[in-house]
Amino acid sequence: MFGVGPARLSQTSLWGLLTSELMLYLLISLAIFMLSFRFLARLQARCQALVAKLNAQQGLSFDAGHLLGYPAPAFLVFDRQHRKLAVCSIVDEAWRIHDFSWLLGWRMTWREVESMEMNGGSRQVNASGMSVPTFERTVRAKDFAIELQTADPQRPLLSFPMSRRAAETWCARLNTLFNG
C-alpha cells in the first residue's frame, strides 16, 4: 500500500539495505583483518626462514613446525635428534643454541579470579511468595602460560603466555621431547 513494512523488505535486495555507513564499517573491518592476516603470515614465514637458516648453518634439524612462543618475536625451537634447543629472536635474527640440559623444568601457570555471579535459581524471602535471585561465588582460571626454568642465571625463568589448551599441549609435547 505505502511500500513499507515486512512485505516491502522482502522485495528489496541485500545491497539496497546496506547504507554507506555500514559499508564503511565492513570495509574497515575487512582491511584490519587482511592486515592482521598478512602480518601473521609474514611473521610465520620469517620464523620458518630463520629456523631453516639455523639448520643449514649448524647442521641440525630443528622442527620449524613447533615453535614455543610463536607468534611472539622470541621463540624456542627443538631438535630431538641432537637433543638441542635454540632460543631465537626474529627481531634481529639472533639465536643461541643450548643442550637439553639447559632447560631444568617447566610448568603450566595460571591466575585464579573470584567473582560473584547470579545463579539461575532463586530463593523465597518470606511467606508472601516474593523471591530474590541467588548469587554464588565462582572461581575461574585465566592468564595461562608455560613457565620454563633454565640454567641461565641472567634469565632463570622464561614465560610464554598462551591459551589453556595450548599450554596443556606444550606441557605434553615437552614431556615427550625430554622424557620420551
3-class SS of residue 109: strand
Domain that holds residue 44: 16-179
Whether the pLDDT of residue 1 is over 50: the answer is no
Phi and psi at residue 40, in whole multiples of 5°? -65, -40
Q: What is the pTM of this model?
A: 0.70
Which DSSP letter does residue 101 get? G
Tell me what pLDDT residue 14 has. Answer: 58
Question: 120-150: per-residue pLDDT in tens?
Answer: 666 666 666 666 677 778 888 999 999 999 9
Of residues 178 and 120, more confidently modeled: 178
Question: Is 5 domain-assigned?
Answer: no
Tell me what pLDDT residue 127 has. Answer: 66
Question: Is 70 domain-assigned?
Answer: yes
Pairwise CA distance, residues 115 & 145, whole Å:
22
Of residues 81 and 4, more confidently modeled: 81
Concatenate the DSSP letters of all residues of 11-67 into one string.
TS-HHHH--HHHHHHHHHHHHHHHHHHHHHHHHHHHHHHHHHHHHHHHT----TT-E
Question: Is 2 domain-assigned?
Answer: no
Question: Is 9 domain-assigned?
Answer: no
Whether the pLDDT of residue 16 is over 80: the answer is no
Number of domain units in the chain? 1
Pairwise CA distance, residues 45 & 40, whole Å:
9
Question: Is 1 domain-assigned?
Answer: no
**Phi-psi label, residue 100: left if phi above 0, alpha if psi -120 to 50, beta otherwise:** alpha
Which pLDDT band, with edges at 50, 70 and 90, does 2 fall under?
A: low
Averaged pLDDT, 149-164: 92
Which pLDDT band, with edges at 50, 70 and 90, does 5 fall under?
A: low
